[in-house]
Structure 1
């Protein structure tokens, strides 16, 4: 299973993408538990705020788009874990 986090926007508008193969991680079961707790279907659509980041998180069959102000709790945990595994491209 692959998790892809893309961040765009901000003042410079630069896009960064991080990608992790969950099955290849030494703690794959912890990754799966985190992915199972995410409220994939309960994300409210909010208008983007000026000069703030937008995150797109994909983990088939799920995909969400979150404004920076919506990134908290388990979403923040996931983004931090993905960013901690690999350098952005």
Structure 2
């Protein structure tokens, strides 16, 4: 399974990205567990915009969600953190 995380916005308005192919990792089952814990409904409801907030775009297989940084929490935050920590720059 391919997972791609992109971060854009912030004060400088720059973009960065990371990617992981879970099948090439030592622990693909742990990745599947992490993805399995993601909520199936829309991850966030729009709230008032936060100036200079990051926007996170997460693609898991063929599903893409976009989450404002101020609302990135729970299983989505755990997935983003792990992809950033262990993934390759994209």
Same fold (TM over 0.5): yes
Q: Which runs of 5+ in 1 are unaligned?
A: none
What's the counterpart of residue 22 of structure 1? 22
TM-aligned CA deviation for residue 46 of structure 1:
1.5
Contact between 1:8 and 1:16, CA under 8 Å: does it hold in 2?
A: yes
Q: Which runs of 5+ in 2 are unaligned?
A: none
The answer as to 2:84 corresponding to 1:86 is: no
What's the counterpart of residue 7 of structure 2? 7
How do 1:1-89 residues align onto structure 2 when only pairs under 5 Å count? 1-46=1-46, 48-89=49-90
SS, match of residue 74 in structure 1: helix
Whole-angstrom distance in 1 between the partners of 2:18 and 2:33: 20
Q: How many residues align?
A: 89
TM-aligned CA deviation for residue 74 of structure 1:
0.8
Judge which range, 2-11 or 65-74, deviates more.
65-74
Contact between 1:40 and 1:62, CA under 8 Å: does it hold in 2?
A: no
Whole-angstrom distance in 1 between the partners of 2:44 and 2:72: 12
SS, match of residue 66 in structure 2: strand
TM-score, length of structure 1 as denominator length: 0.89
